[in-house]
Amino acid sequence: MPRAVTQKSDNTPTGEAGSGERIFTALEICAGGGGQALGLEQAGFLHAGVAEIDESACATLLHNRPDWNVLPMDIRALQGKLYRGIDLLAGGVPCPPFSIAGKQLGHKDERDLFPEALRLVEEAQPKAVMLENVKGFSSEKFADYRERLKSSLNELGYAVEWRVLNASDYGVPQLRPRFVLVALRRRVAKLFRWPEPVGAPPTVADTIGELIAARGWPGAQAWREKAQEIAPTLVGGSKKHGGPDLGPTRAKQKWLELGVDAMGVANEPPGPDHPIEKPPRLTVQMVARLQGFPADWQFVGGKTAAYRQVGNAFPPPVAGAVAKAIITALKSEQLKIPLEDATKQQLMLLDARRKTA
């Protein structure tokens, strides 16, 4: 298992103490390959801890951000009290209990980690909570479960809102509807506004056309002309199933209409010998671009492990948009607290994390 790396207090995003703005800290659980963690960083959060149980995903996090405090562990063993005082607790708790692709066992599924998330909220007492899941969690079938979750957060002192957000509204070239829950301390909640859509997303061709053509495939230009829509929702799958492919039968048909063979994932882009009339398969790098990851974010592990990290990710642009909205609300509330005191509090918190890592 990869070693944990302690966050350095000088590795701050825009908004560090010296720039006249206060630091905002986050603890992330079930981080996977880093989609939400990256979005939080882009929004301006400094990670006090990033917890993930999967070895390949931890390696990905450390490869891309060696200064992050990566916690390679089951969140059942994570002690929230060590992070008391953080601004945000965020996570993409496992989705199989609520996914239409699974049995939808909800709270009866051993992979349901919402109770652990609630425990960590109670122990860490963050100012805000952000939990992401599949669209299926918004269905009527889980209405009672959502109400229990909301009631538990209310009892802990939070006002709760949730929405289904489409990734395509935030610059990601696929629809990808996701359930997003935001809970804030009541004094802050009235200041929160959900992020507005940013406009039409790029097409599949716009996003990965250069990668499809990278090895000189003669059919690249014709392919670009065909792939002038957004992608179907990418599916990551679980370890209980076989190798990577791009989704169920209906999604595979949509991929084929875009000129993509969705039956598997390729090791490299199509080359000069790839038949013009044969739809190419996408590489992990291409799928990552379609998920909203930046070009320099690299995934560690075999092809199947890497693809699952991408396919199960919360797209960074969507996570970043919600996180920015949370920071805006927290900044408005923090105007009531002297900047020097607020920044000092967060620096003391990060220093404590270094000593306990």
Known catalytic residues are: 95
Cβ(226)–Cβ(280) below 8 Å: no
Cβ(267)–Cβ(253) below 8 Å: no
Counting every residue, how long is the chain? 357
* Start-to-end C-alpha separation, the chain: 15
CA angle 138, 304, 55 (to 5 degrees): 85
Q: Which residue blocks in 53-167 are alpha helix, DSSP H?
A: 55-64, 114-124, 143-155
Cβ(86)–Cβ(124) below 8 Å: yes
- The answer for 299, left when phi > 0, alpha when psi is -120 to 50, beta otherwise, is beta
CA distances in angstroms from 124 to 87, 282, 343, listed in the order given: 10, 41, 18
List the structure tokens of 27: 């603890």
What angle in degrees, to the nearest 10, is found between the helix axes of 143-155 and 114-124?
A: 10
Strands of 88-91's sheet, edge to edge? 70-72, 45-52, 24-29, 88-91, 128-134, 177-185, 158-166
